[in-house]
Amino acid sequence: MRLRWWENIRWRLALGSVIVALLSASLLALTAIVVIGYYYNVDQQARISALASERAQSVGIVYEHNKSIQDGNGSANAQARLKKLLVGQQGLLFLSIREVSNSPAAQYNPGSDHLYLFCNEQGKLIYPQGFSRGNALTVIRSLLNVSGTARPGSDQSKLQTAINHALQGHGEGGVFGRQTPVDASMPFFVEPIYTNGHDGSPRTVIGAVIVTPLSNAIPGFVSTVGISVLVATPIIAILVAAVAIFYSRTITRPLAKLTAASRILASGDYDAQVSVDGPGELGELAHTFNDMAVQLKKDVDELRRQEIWRRELIMNITHDLATPLTAIAGLGEALVDGINQSHEDYEATGRIIVRETLRLRRLVQDLHVMAKVEAGALQPKLKPLRLAVLVDEILAALVTEFERQQVEPINAISYSFKSVQADPDMLTRIFANLCNNALNYTPAGGAVTIEARQHEDMAVISVTDTGGGIPPEALPRIFDRFYRADNARQSKTGGSGLGLAIVQAIVAVHGGTVWAENVPGAGARISFTLPLQQSTIHSATTHPLAQIQR
């Protein structure tokens, strides 16, 4: 399936990183602007408060001085000059404000970039001149050109409230317009003007001074920051995208290898491996994938082997059942037809029928045991057994077969040999299968020897014949089901092909091992191990232990 470009992890990671970078840069810039605006307004408010307090104090001092002269406490020249100045003026407070505002110190001090408005004790605007008919807000809007951003109703209310509080003796500040990082909001402060009360009279409020900046530097700064953010954000986005694309290759490249290997597996080639040596989760995923591929190959090989066994089972059962059934059917028909009339003929026919019936029974028993092995239902009932005694009983039961084959059975196990921990019926089945197997390959005049020795806490038991041995190419498969070293499938050497497989399964459930070897100067030897009495049963294995092989 072909992926569209926007479905590719590399591009999705790049686009996601760009979006995150843009959002982060924008949020950081907005946060910086808000913080700068906040602290700028705080600083402006503190500064205009100090300027208002200073200007109100200066006006109050000058007003007190002029009032003292007016009351006759000054020289005649000073009184005459004051009367001359007061002619046509609005009063002593206006004269004092004008003197303070026109002084060189007031014009060239740091506060000269601020607008000062003065009100009398009735709250009417008296300075600067030319705006006597308007209120303070109208003057501010006219001089500062803030009509586009100011809100007349709300700003008028805030300014009027601050003036009223100042005339009552409480200085108060505020802000004109909207307080946003972009809008040019203007701070202001209203400070009461007091008389000094040098003659012992209490201090009285004679007016108020309104201070606000002539300009606000924050809009320019904000625009500069905004332009910088607009320029820096695409650069950051491009850098982040490049880094994301480069970094995503460390993820997508191993994933591409995994995808290719998965397709190879899907095509039926189970030898696919991924060569990713990188650290972290991707490396671990690659190693896990390789382990999965190895295990899958093993499972598939096992399934194929099981399929081959199934086919062999069908073919061998068909062959092994057909031979005795054919013989029994033919002999039965002969008896019915009365072809053989003598007693000797009836006796010979009966023996053949019995032999073929026993052969069928052994085959059915072997199949039953193998079915239990496949189902994991082969559970031994362990008990202490004396090997020498058990072998004598088994050889006595098979003595007829040995005599018919003219082969000598030899029990070489000492009666003082330690007892083994095993199931007697299963152990009998082991010896019977091994003896029958040895008889099939031992010529007349030969011998089958059963012996045992101790190795640590295990008994090593061997059944050795004097036949021609096992072909070297057949040794690795001698315990496979239905495998025959003799391909001719003769009745003498063919058997069911399950005898040694059953031996292996029974030995395995007892915790032992079984193996086959050729003995120089003799024939084949089948050896297996069983735990001795009161010893620990080890985990089963199907291959000979190197330390107990000869």
pLDDT digits (tens, 9 = 90+) for 288-305: 888 888 888 888 888 888
pLDDT tens per residue across span 106-115: 655 655 678 8
pLDDT in tens, 409-432: 999 999 999 999 999 999 998 998
Structural domains for the chain:
1-103+110-218 (no CATH), 379-531 (3.30.565.10)
Return d(Cα 519, Cα 449) in angstroms, integer. 12
CA distance 99 to 58: 10
pLDDT band at 92 (very low <50, low <70, confident <90, very high): confident
Q: In which band, very low, low, confident or very high, does the pLDDT at 337 lie, cut at 50, 70 and 90?
A: confident
**pLDDT score for 501:** 86
pLDDT of residue 491: 44
Q: Is the pLDDT of residue 349 over 50?
A: yes
Instruction: Read off the pTM.
Output: 0.45
* DSSP label at residue 188: E
**Predicted confidence (pLDDT) at residue 514 exceeds the cutoff of 90:** yes
The mean pLDDT of 216-225, rounded to a whole number, is 64
Q: Name the DSSP letter for residue 418.
A: P
Q: What element of type H or E holds 357?
A: helix 343-375
pLDDT: which is higher, 130 or 147 = 130
- pLDDT (0 to 100) of residue 144: 56
- pLDDT higher than 90, residue 53: yes
pLDDT score recorded for residue 489: 41
Confidence of residue 105 (pLDDT cuts 50, 70, 90): low
CA dihedral 227, 232, 235, 237 (to 10 degrees): -100
The residue that leads in pLDDT, 29 or 307, is 307
Round to whole Å and give the CA distance between 107 and 110. Answer: 9
pLDDT band at 328 (very low <50, low <70, confident <90, very high): confident
The percent of residues in the chain predicted with pLDDT above 90, rounded, is 20
Residue 351 bridge partners (DSSP): none
Lowest mean pLDDT among 182-186, 376-380, 460-464: 182-186
Percent of the chain beyond pLDDT 70? 79
Q: Which has the closest alpha carbon to 439: 475, 463, 413?
A: 463
